[in-house]
Every structure is written in structure tokens, then in C-alpha cells.
Structure 1
């Protein structure tokens, strides 16, 4: 992906034991939680709690980018309620 490409969500890779990732996936699915959305929520919360002025500004810009993208694509998919 080009560094200036603002039309796509950045995909990143990180190392995690397969068993941990699989357990996270099954636990999240059981609660009706999407792993990707949960990770994004965690990153957002972490920045809000521990971020400096620049990092908080970057978070605000990222949130704006997400809002614009969702507006173009019809909004964020509705969360299904866990039963």
C-alpha cells in the first residue's frame, strides 16, 4: 500500500502464538465480538489513556478518516446482539 493512500484501512501483521489467537477468536465469537473491531477499540482506548498531544491528534484524524469512509460506504455494520 502506498504511504499516502487514505482510502484503505492499513493492514498490519504482528506475531502472536496461534493457540492464543485461536482462543481469542473463539472467546470473542462466543460473546458476539469481532476480533478486529475489539483490537481497534483497544488501540483507541490505549491512545486515549496514554497518548500525548500528538498521538491524540493522530487519533482524532484517524477517527475522522473512519467517519468519512463509513459515510461513503453506508456506515458501520450494525453489531449483532449476543444471545
Structure 2
């Protein structure tokens, strides 16, 4: 949860075997996505399915924050513009 209004997306660390992380990366790439996008989508889906009212409110606020940030920055780059 955000501790103040200046919190933004952050990098978090977790432990996973390197071989599993690498396999996840190549499998995600083959599906046309990357690990970060897939993980964020998984977290969203998990909160939608299992979240309580407060967690769903946090999800909604996070989605609005991302939409606002993309509007200010001109939106997310097209997949064709992203390096492979």
C-alpha cells in the first residue's frame, strides 16, 4: 500500500531459482509479453479474485494512477516501438 501520495511504482525483490526465472522469461516472450507485464497482470487478477473491499479500492486507485501517469507521459509506447 502507498504510504503517501508521492509513492510510485517501485522495484521489489523476491527469490526464485535462476533457471525458473529464465524459463519464465522465454515462455513469456514466446507469448508476446514480458515477465514484468505478466506479473503485474497476475497481481491485478489475484486482487480482483481474492481481494477484500479495501484491496479492491487500492487496485482501483493504482489503476487510476497508472492511467494518469500514461496520460502525462503520452501513453505507453506501442509494442512495435519497444526494443526486443
Both proteins in one fold, TM over 0.5: yes
**Counterparts of 1:50 and 1:79 in 2: how far apart (Å)?**
30
Moved over 3 A (4+): none
Q: Which has the higher helix share?
A: 2
Number of aligned positions between the proteins: 77
Q: Which runs of 5+ in 2 are unaligned?
A: none
CA RMSD of aligned residues (A): 1.4
Q: Which has the higher contact order (CA 8 A, sep 6+)?
A: 1
Per the normalisation by structure 1, the TM-score is 0.84
Per the normalisation by structure 2, the TM-score is 0.83
Q: Which runs of 5+ in 1 are unaligned?
A: none
